[in-house]
C-alpha cells in the first residue's frame, strides 16, 4: 500500500518537474524572441529599442555587442549571448564589466 503511494507521489513529482521545465523553456524562448526583435529594430534604425539613444557596437572577446550611449542598455542576439556566457565561465569578463558600471 505504501509502495502504491510512493509510486503515485513519484509520478506527481515527475509531472511537476516536467511542467516546470516546459515553463522555463517557454520563458527562455520568449526572451530570445524579444532579444532578436530588439536587435533587428536596433540594426535598422541604429537607435536603442528602449529609448532613442544611439547604439554603439563594441567588440568584446570577439563578440559584437550593441550598447546604448544614453540608457546603457546592452543588446545582443541569442547566439552572441551563448558565446558570452561560455566565455564568462572562463574569464569572468562579464562580471567585471558589470562591477565597473557601478
Query: Shortest gap between Cβ of 90 and Zn ion (angstroms)?
Result: 29
Which one, 45 or 95, has the nearer CB to Zn ion? 45
Sheet strands side by side (includes 55-60):
55-60, 63-68, 74-75
Enclosing H/E stretch for 68: strand 63-68
Q: Which residues bind Zn ion (CB under 5 A)?
A: 48, 50-51, 53, 68, 70-71, 73
Question: How many CB atoms are closer than 10 A to CB 73?
Answer: 17
Which one, 50 or 83, has the nearer CB to Zn ion? 50
Query: Shortest gap between Cβ of 66 and Zn ion (angstroms)?
Result: 10
Amino acid at each position: 500500500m505504501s509502495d502504491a503511494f510512493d509510486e503515485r507521489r513519484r509520478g506527481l513529482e515527475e509531472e511537476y518537474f516536467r511542467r516546470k521545465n516546459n515553463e522555463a523553456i517557454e520563458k527562455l524562448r520568449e526572451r530570445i524572441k524579444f532579444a532578436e526583435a530588439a536587435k533587428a529594430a536596433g540594426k535598422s534604425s541604429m537607435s536603442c529599442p528602449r529609448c532613442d539613444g544611439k547604439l554603439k557596437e563594441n567588440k568584446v572577446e570577439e563578440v559584437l555587442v550593441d550598447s546604448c550611449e544614453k540608457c546603457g542598455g546592452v543588446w545582443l542576439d541569442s547566439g552572441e549571448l551563448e558565446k558570452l556566457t561560455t566565455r564568462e565561465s572562463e574569464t569572468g569578463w562579464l562580471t567585471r564589466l558589470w562591477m565597473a558600471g557601478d
